[in-house]
């Protein structure tokens, strides 16, 4: 599995603060997506499958898969000749109240023919948030943990101090937080820092300034963390944003 890889048949665009990836798969290929915000997968042809855990579910045309923020890896399999579209929410648009409930990815009947990309995305997320039978409330401890982790991204995370602030044992905190949001606390915070780094880079800030603003030791520390999560370097990412005007979510791809 390789990070940050697309193929020549993949094309990025940006519409109304939504990042869009159109993928045409010339061969059988598996894709994994992880993004701090919500995302929607729309099959454009037959031959697209979704792999929740050990299951395999066909995604027929006319349906979309809506996934919540921090849903873990969203696994998509495209057979040879198949194509699909992924729409990524801007992390600045994630509603804090959304984290009060954990939703599982939902497949619903929608089509881009019913409206523009923004309308399609909004309708898919609305369907996701209305899936009460397949969602659970998050405890106030977990919500407090998320709040503390998001407060000051310039400070390195200390699990013991975090547990004291929340009032829960460190080992239980890690298990409960991962079960609720799909990532352990330190990975959640790492994704938040890099998500903010991407916003700053896309806005034209240089790597040194971004490293300083987000509390990285130096530019090299930023580069290592950035590449670990996104699969590319901050400099390459900034040049790409300058050329296309689009910020690119993390993409994992495996043949």
The residues spanned by each domain of the chain are 2-136, 138-253
> 252 falls in which pLDDT band (50, 70, 90)?
very low
Mean pLDDT score, 60-88: 86
- Distance, in Å, from the CA atom of 208 to the CA atom of 205, rounded to the nearest integer, reads 8
Helix count and strand count (H, E) for the chain: 8, 14
Q: Over the chain, what is the mean pLDDT?
A: 78
For residue 101, the model assigns a pLDDT of 54
| Whether pLDDT at 66 is above 70 | yes
> 137 falls in which pLDDT band (50, 70, 90)?
low
Encoded tokens for 4: 């940050």
- Distance, in Å, from the CA atom of 101 to the CA atom of 135, rounded to the nearest integer, reads 7
| Whether pLDDT at 251 is above 60 | no
Q: Which residue has the tokens 């990042």?
A: 19
Please check whether the two domains, 2-136 and 138-253, share a CATH topology.
Answer: no
Contact 211, 201 (CB under 8 A): no
Encoded tokens for 185: 């606390």
Please give the CATH topology (third level) of the domain spanning 2-136. Answer: Jelly Rolls (2.60.120)
**What CATH architecture does domain 138-253 belong to?**
Orthogonal Bundle (1.10)
Contact 73, 46 (CB under 8 A): no
| Whether pLDDT at 5 is above 50 | no
């Amino acid at each position: 599995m390789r990070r940050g890889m697309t193929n020549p048949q993949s094309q990025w665009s940006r519409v109304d603060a939504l990042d869009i990836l159109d993928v045409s798969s010339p061969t059988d290929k598996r894709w994994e997506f992880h993004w701090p915000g919500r995302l929607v997968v729309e099959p454009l042809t037959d031959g697209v499958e979704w792999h929740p855990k050990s299951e395999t579910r066909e995604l027929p045309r006319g349906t979309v898969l809506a996934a919540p923020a921090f849903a873990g890896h969203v696994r998509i399999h495209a057979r040879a000749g198949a194509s699909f579209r992924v729409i990524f929410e801007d992390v600045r648009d994630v509603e804090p109240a959304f984290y009060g409930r954990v939703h599982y990815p939902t497949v619903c009947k929608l089509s881009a023919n019913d409206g523009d990309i923004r309308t399609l995305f909004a309708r898919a997320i609305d369907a996701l948030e209305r899936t009460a039978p397949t969602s659970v409330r998050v405890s106030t401890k977990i919500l407090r943990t998320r709040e503390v982790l998001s407060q000051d991204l310039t400070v390195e995370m200390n699990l013991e101090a975090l547990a004291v602030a929340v009032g829960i044992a460190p080992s239980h905190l890690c298990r409960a937080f991962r079960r609720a949001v799909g990532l352990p606390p330190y990975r959640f915070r790492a994704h938040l820092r890099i998500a903010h780094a991407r916003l700053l880079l896309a806005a034209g800030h240089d790597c040194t300034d971004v490293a300083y603003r987000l509390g990285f030791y130096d530019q090299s520390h930023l580069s290592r963390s950035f590449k670990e999560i996104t699969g590319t370097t901050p400099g390459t990412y900034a040049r790409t944003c300058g050329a296309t005007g689009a910020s690119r979510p993390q993409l994992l791809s495996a043949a």
